Amino acid sequence: MAVFKIVEVGDPVLREKAQPVTKITPALLRLLDDMTETMYAYHGVGLAAPQVGVSKRVIVVDAGKGLYQLINPEIIAVAGSETDREGCLSIPGVWGEVTRAAAVTVRGLNRSGETVEVEAEGFFARALQHEIDHLDGILFIDRALKIVKG
């Protein structure tokens, strides 16, 4: 496995709409594993493929509920709303107050190509929404009510 360099704000790949995955290949599974290793190496709780320079609809998240690797994830239900502080590995040293759904249901494929649904609330829901935003070229600073540097 490998640790990727994190792509930082200003790189055009972070503003692209990532391409859907059409086939699960050994290269895609390696990408999932490398993204997971990268997320842990940088002490993150989530990582989207565009953050490692790959315009594919793939995310990994571990917000304390175990590791989730999702292919072509989409939010299919939301409930409530809450505002909290967010940061991003692609925007080091910057934090923002962001309002997001308090609970979400996300549907995607697991690494075996099976459809899975993940129900999440609180910080886990926030992390999923943050990473799925990356797949649409949206950064947390686009949604922030207030930005804090440092």
Q: How many residues does the chain have?
A: 150
Concerning whether 97 is annotated as a catalytic residue, the answer is no
The answer to whether 7 and 14 have CB atoms below 8 angstroms apart is yes
Q: Is 43 annotated as a binding residue?
A: no
Q: Which of 16, 37, 97, 131 is catalytic?
A: 131
Q: Is 35 annotated as a binding residue?
A: no
- Give residue 142's identity as a one-letter amino acid code: D
- Burial class of residue 23 in the structure, from the number of CB atoms within 10 Å of its CB (0-12 exposed, 13-18 middle, 19+ buried): exposed
> Number of C-alpha atoms within 13 angstroms, CB side, residue 19?
8
Q: Is 118 annotated as a binding residue?
A: no
- Among 137, 141, 144, CA closest to 50: 137
Residues with a catalytic annotation lie at 131
List binding-site positions.
88, 130, 134
Q: Give the residue numbers of the binding site for Fe cation.
A: 88, 130, 134
